[in-house]
Amino acid sequence: MRDTATLNRGPELGRRSFLKVSALAGGGLALAATFPMAGKAATGAGASEISAFVSIAPDNSITIIGKNPEIGQGIKTMLPMLIAEELDADWDLVSIEQGDLNAAAYGPQLAGGSTATPMNWMPMRQAGATVRAMLIAAAAQRWGVDAASLTTEPSAVVHAASGRRATYGELASDAATQPVPNAQSLQLKDDADFRIIGRPIGGIDSPKIVRGEPIFGVDTQLPGMVYAAYERSPVFGARLVSADLDAAKAEPGVIDAFMVEGNGNIEQLVDGVAVISNNWWLANKARAKLNPQWDNGEWGDHSTAKYDADARRHMAEGTPEEVFASKGDVDAAFASAAGTLEAEYHYPFLAHVPMEPMNCTAQLSEDGSSMEMWAPVQLPGNGQAAVATYLGIPPENVTVHITRMGGGFGRRLNIDYMVQVAAIAKQMPGTPVQLIWSREDDVKTDFYRPAGWHKLRAAWDENGKLTGWGDHFITFALSASSFNPATMSATEFPANYVENLEFAQTKMRTSVPMGALRAPTSNAMAYVMQSFLDEVAHEQGRDLPTLLLDIVDGFEQEPGTFGFGGPAPGFAPERVRNVTNKVLDMSPWGEPAANGHAYGFGFYFSHMGYFAEVVEVSLNARNQVVVHNVWVAGDVGSHIINPFGAMNQVEGSVIDGIGQALQLAVEIEGGATKQSNFHNYQVPRMPMVPQIHVEFVKSDYAPTGLGEPALPPVIPALTNALHTLTGKRIRSLPIDTSLLV
Amino acid sequence: MAYRVTINGETREIDAPEDMPLLWVLRNELGMTGTKFGCGIGMCGACTVHLDGIATRSCSLPIGSIGDREVSTIEQLETTPVGRALQKAWLDDDVMQCGYCQAGQLMNATALLNNNPNPTAQEIENGMQGNICRCACYNRIHKAIAMVAEEGTENA
């Protein structure tokens, strides 16, 4: 049983983690590591070879591997900051290289779930402190002094008593021969001594980006490389019957066109036709000549209208398929309540649309025994495994170079485009091929944020205390999903704070692929639950922050858990109070709003982060919603490691959420996605962006991630503000402003 | 068809169908990958280049229509004072997240400031609304442009 303090501190390097320091050829030092927590992946590529994680050259330059995929969350800069801090490195002497997929050498390599900060906070610092301790030991030996009498300044060891000083580069070769200290014996820095953590540091790749240098996946160029476009059915679940390959091959510049058979897993490979050219635009253009015939099976008449009608019928009938969380006596609670409320909520399918369309570059060896890939992918290990299985070769024969990504938002947790390019490369062993999707392919063949419907009910006593809480959740049964986002937690707030509870669900059949969109499940649940709680508060004659703090009043921190990302502290009412009070304090909440303006509040806890937000809205002369200001108070633990990246993530999350609330929806018609590009899937643009005011509340917990948790509460804060402004409830997204007048 | 097009001051010989967009000439024929593909229909601005100094969406500009107009791209942005100043402001303010749209944002912002060295906040919004940043770094982009407008290009 792990105690609360351990859970609050986050994972550390375990006794089974293996650090090795060795001399570099030509002088210098290299720290390598093996991570038992890499688990399955450790048996994959590179398990037997150890790669340098940190190296120090005789010229005093330091190279650190950025191990995790960079999707714009700033991780390639941030994780090396942790190593450099405890190494006490001069940041200006540090260069960062993106590591290939090699979980045995680097530990888990993924971008998702805002997990990188909590998973790596201690292990990366311990790795840096290991090298620093060995550099100090080398200096102590060289000068014949006690190691305890030595200190470091950036990239140098200093003996204050004698005034002696040696750079890390000068000591590196000797340090490589020192014994590796035990992780548990390492002395980490006091916060007051931090020189890098807490300092705003620009993205390590930014200078290359502003010059247009090739660093994204789609910028990959290899000798002899050809381009591929892929035609697949617009109807999800359809099978390919025929295509006019000769017509496509007759088009200018087309090298080849061939059919690809799906492997029966929509998360990996669906039927389609590949068109190959030396120029992607020519390949893509020739798709128009393919005249593909599809067998839509049973899916050709599916639509969001049908799903909505079916869901409304399920909610009206009130006979759920299953009850998935229940306690107390809900019926009795409602029968004896001083007040009750019921409402139906709905939210649509959403697409991810990262700016860099899906792409991947692959080269199968002439004999088909090994594969090399250049992949913009959030879960490179999943891609490696799926490609290896598809090709029938061992995972260690699939080399994955992780490229920088033009955005992820969860889309690149799915690895379908990697299997797709592998299937194409299989037809042309030895030739490097780059698969690129058009924006239309991207919008029409996403793994969408699931649509959902909720019939909620609440009961409370004469003091306004919640006594009963229920939800009939209408969702989808997914045919395949490595991560099922069409779910709702049995502990969805305020479930743990109400004595009588019933969460039930009914699942509808569909072939629409679904996946994780930034703050998965939370981006929908926050809107539903915090909007309905605002309804309850209003009905009780008080405001949502008051109700929220009342609900958690008197409760202790929930027990912690030990999950995928390592130890996680339990939900802490105190942190709810702190961010709520902070945002009320920093915003004009409680003061009269400007004429025609109104404020709304929302809170949500997700991905280990606590966020309370206040939104100021008005309606303009054309009855459009204008968001003027958003105040954000967040608690993600004891430190903001890189304030630049942190602010960027919070601002981006807030705007992302506003876009979802105001104008985003994917509709299905005839079994296919109706939207196709940015003209009918209108992500936010500069003119709609509000002023965003952010403050972080520091708490005594290990730092946690910021890729997601600021997004969910902005949506209910916005809908709640519109209720205050107009008296109308927004029970369906995106907001239909015709309902506000 | 063979075309002669001046790109970043250099005359390039290009053999391509006349309707091939400049974007795909740059990326796949010339290997100049700084200009990015985002939507293919001129809706996102990731592919913005300058055509005789005017911000133009290269995904919707057929190679056959360019004639003797001069193309310049992100790869030579740092040779211009405004471009250099904007690049510096982008880095000083850590404008970007994923960075994929930023070549287009920078090319568009450079053309904006070349035409109007002292834009109002409203003029910056209007001038930049054709460029999508999916990471939504908009407040930072806005601030960086305003900073260059205010401070000029002398220190760049």
Instruction: Decide if pLDDT at A45 tops 80.
Output: no
* CATH assignment of B2-75, among 2.40.33.10, 3.40.50.720, 3.40.50.300, 3.10.20.30: 3.10.20.30
From edge to edge, which strands make up the β-sheet containing A398-402? Answer: A254-260, A272-277, A226-232, A433-436, A359-364, A371-375, A398-402
A597 and A699 belong to one structural domain: yes
Rounded Cα distance, A131 and A86, in Å: 9
- Residue A42: CATH number of its domain: 3.30.365.10
- The verdict on A682 touching B (C-beta cutoff 8 Å) is no
Q: DSSP label at A215?
A: -
How far A682 CA lies from chain B's nearest CA (Å)? 10
Please tell me whether residues A276 and A384 are part of one structural domain: yes
- Same-domain pairing of A370 and A477: no
Q: pTM for this one?
A: 0.95
In tens, the pLDDT along A520-547 reads 999 999 999 999 999 999 999 999 999 9
pLDDT score of A326: 98
Do the chains contact at B94 and A692, CB–CB below 8 Å? no
Query: Burial of A529 by CB count in 10 Å (0-12 exposed, 13-18 middle, 19+ buried)?
Result: buried
How far away is chain B from the Cα of A437, in angstroms, using its nearest Cα? 10
Report pLDDT digits (tens) over A579-588.
999 999 999 9
**Domain of A541?**
320-350+448-740
Label residue A567 by pLDDT band (50, 70, 90): confident
> Residue A594: how many CB atoms within 10 A of its CB?
11
Same domain, A375 and A467: no
CA A380 to CA A110: how far, in whole Å? 7
User: Are A295 and A237 in contact, with CB atoms under 8 Å apart?
Assistant: no
| CB neighbourhood size of A365 (10 A) | 14
User: What is the spatial distance between Cα A502 and Cα B106, in angstroms, rounded to a whole number?
Assistant: 53
Element (H, E) at A122: helix A116-143
Torsional class of A26: left (φ above 0), alpha (ψ -120 to 50), beta (otherwise)? left
Whether residue A127 has pLDDT greater than 60 = yes
Chain A: closest CA distance from residue B68 (Å): 23
In chain A, whose CA is at the least distance from the CA of B102? Answer: A210
CA torsion B131→B132→B137→B143, rounded to 10°? Answer: 20
Is any Cβ of chain A less than 8 angstroms from the Cβ of B24? yes
DSSP 8-state symbol, A496: G
Measured between beta carbons, which residues in chain B are less than 8 angstroms from residue A404? Answer: 98-99
- Domain boundary residue, one of A405, A436, A467: A436
A591 with A511, same domain?
yes
When pLDDT is averaged across residues A609-613 and rounded to a whole number, the result is 98
- Please identify which residue in the block is written with the tokens 């660093």: A215
Contact (CB<8Å) A686/B24: no
Amino acid (1-letter code) at residue A91: W
| Number of independent structural domains in chain A | 3
A573 shares a domain with A492: yes
Q: Kindly list the strands in the beta sheet with A18-23, ordered across the sheet, starting from the edge strand earlier in the chain.
A: A18-23, A29-34, A52-56, A62-66, A94-98
Q: Identify how many contiguous H helices and E strands chain B contains and give both numbers.
A: 5, 5
State whether B136 and A684 contact (CB < 8 Å).
yes
**Token pair in block for residue B8:** 């970043």
CA–CA dist A660, A683 (Å, integer): 8
Per-residue confidence (pLDDT) for residue B34, from 0 to 100: 98
Could you say which residues from 210 to 269 on chain A have a Cβ atom under 8 Å away from some Cβ of chain B? 210-214, 216, 218-219, 221, 227, 252-253
Closest C-alpha among B112, B115, B114 to residue B142: B112
Q: For residue B36, which residues of chain A lie inside 8 Å, CB to CB?
A: 216, 218, 355-356, 406
- Do A333 and A398 have their domain in common? no
Torsion angles phi and psi, residue A196, rounded to 5: -115, -50
**Nearest alpha carbon to residue A508 among A457, A450, A456:** A450
A and B: number of Cβ contacts within 8 A: 183
The residue to which tokens 């991810």 are assigned: A352
Nearest CA distance, B60 vs chain A (angstrom) = 12
At residue A323, the 3 state secondary structure works out as strand
Residues of A in contact with B40 (CB under 8 A): 438-440, 677
Q: Answer yes or no: are the C-beta atoms of A262 and A270 closer than 8 Å.
A: yes
HSE-up (13 A, CA, CB side) for residue A590: 8
Partner residue opposite B98 with nearest CB, options A405, A436, A683: A405
**Per residue in B119-140, pLDDT tens?**
999 999 999 999 999 999 999 9
Vertex A362, ends B49 and A381: CA angle to 5°? 105
**Is the confidence at residue A449, as pLDDT, over 50?**
yes
User: Contact at 8 Å (CB) between B87 and A210?
Assistant: yes
The three-state secondary structure class of B71 is: strand
Backbone angles phi, psi at A20, to 5 degrees: -135, 130
Query: Considering only CA atoms, which of A515, A667, A681, A519 is closest in space to residue A602?
Result: A519
* Domain match, A466 and A405 both: no
Interface test with A, best of B24, B39, B92 (most A CBs within 10 A): B39
Beta strands A398-402 and A371-375 are parallel
pLDDT at A437 over 70: yes
Cα separation, A715 vs A63, in Å, equals 42
One-letter identity of residue A548: L
Above 60 in pLDDT, residue A39?
no
- Is A302 among the domain residues? no
Cβ separation A651–B73 shorter than 8 A: no
Chain B: nearest CA to A510, how far in angstroms?
A: 28
Q: Does B138 touch chain A (CB under 8 A)?
A: yes
564-583 of A, contacting B, C-beta below 8 A: none
Q: In this structure, is residue A600 part of a structural domain?
A: yes
A228 and A97 in one domain? Answer: no
Q: Where are the alpha helices (DSSP H) in chain B?
A: 22-24, 81-92, 102-115, 121-128, 138-151
d(C-alpha A138, C-alpha A635), whole Å: 41
Q: Are residues A387 and A426 in the same domain?
A: yes
The yes-or-no verdict on residue A50 having pLDDT over 50 is no
**Share above pLDDT 90 across residues of chain A, in percent, rounded to a whole number:** 86
pLDDT value of position A413: 96
3-state class (DSSP) for residue B21: strand
What pLDDT does A35 receive? 61
CB-facing half-sphere around the CA of A35: CA atoms within 13 A? 26
A226, two tokens: 């050809």
Q: Cβ B87–A210 below 8 Å, yes or no?
A: yes
Q: How confident is the model at residue A479 (pLDDT cuts 50, 70, 90)?
A: low
Q: Which among A691, A586, A717, A583 has a CA at the least distance from the CA of A629?
A: A691
CA distance A192 to A282: 59
Element spanning A562, H or E: strand A561-563
Chain B CB contacts of A692 below 8 Å: 139
- Counted residue by residue, chain A has a size of 741
Q: Where are the domains of chain B?
A: 2-75, 77-151
Query: Which chain B residue is nearest to residue A690, measuring alpha carbons?
Result: B139
The whole-number pLDDT of residue A40 equals 35
- The helix (run of H) or strand (run of E) holding residue A52 is strand A52-56
A315 located within any domain: no
User: Strand pairing partners for A269?
Assistant: A265
Per-residue pLDDT at A118: 87
- Both tokens of A469, joined, read 């809480």
* pLDDT tens figures, A9-27: 667 776 556 678 888 877 8
Task: Kindly indicate the confidence band of residue A103, based on its pLDDT and cuts at 50, 70 and 90.
Answer: confident
End position of a domain, from candidates A169, A203, A237: A203
Rounded mean pLDDT of A622-635?
98
Pick the closest to residue A253 from A272, A227, A234 (CA basis). A227
Per-residue model confidence as pLDDT tens digits over A229-285: 999 999 999 999 999 999 999 999 999 999 999 999 999 999 999 999 999 999 999
Do A146 and A191 have their domain in common? yes
- What gap in Å lies between CA A683 and CA A671, rounded to an integer? 23
Is A399 in the same domain as A461? no
Cβ of B96 within 8 Å of Cβ of A279? The answer is no
Q: Which residue from A minimizes the CA distance to B140?
A: A648
Interface of B with A in 78-137 (CB under 8 A): 78, 87, 90-92, 94, 96-103, 106, 124-126, 128-137
Q: Is there a contact between B129 and A439 if contact means CB atoms under 8 Å apart?
A: no
Judged by average pLDDT, the poorest of A25-34, A348-357, B46-55 is A25-34
What is the CATH architecture assignment of B77-151? Orthogonal Bundle (1.10)
Q: Last residue of a domain, which of A416, A436, A456?
A: A436
Q: What is the mean pLDDT of chain A?
A: 93
Tell which residue, A375, A537, A545, A557, has the closest CA to residue A465.
A537
Which range is least confidently modeled, A90-99, A563-572, B85-94? A563-572
Among A218, A252, A652, the residue with its CB nearest the CB of B137 is: A652
C-alpha A110/C-alpha A281 separation (Å) is 31
CB A61 within 8 A of CB A169: yes
**Cβ of A405 under 8 Å from any chain B Cβ?**
yes
pLDDT of residue A663: 96
Interface mutation vs chain A, best among B73, B134, B148, most A CBs within 10 Å = B134
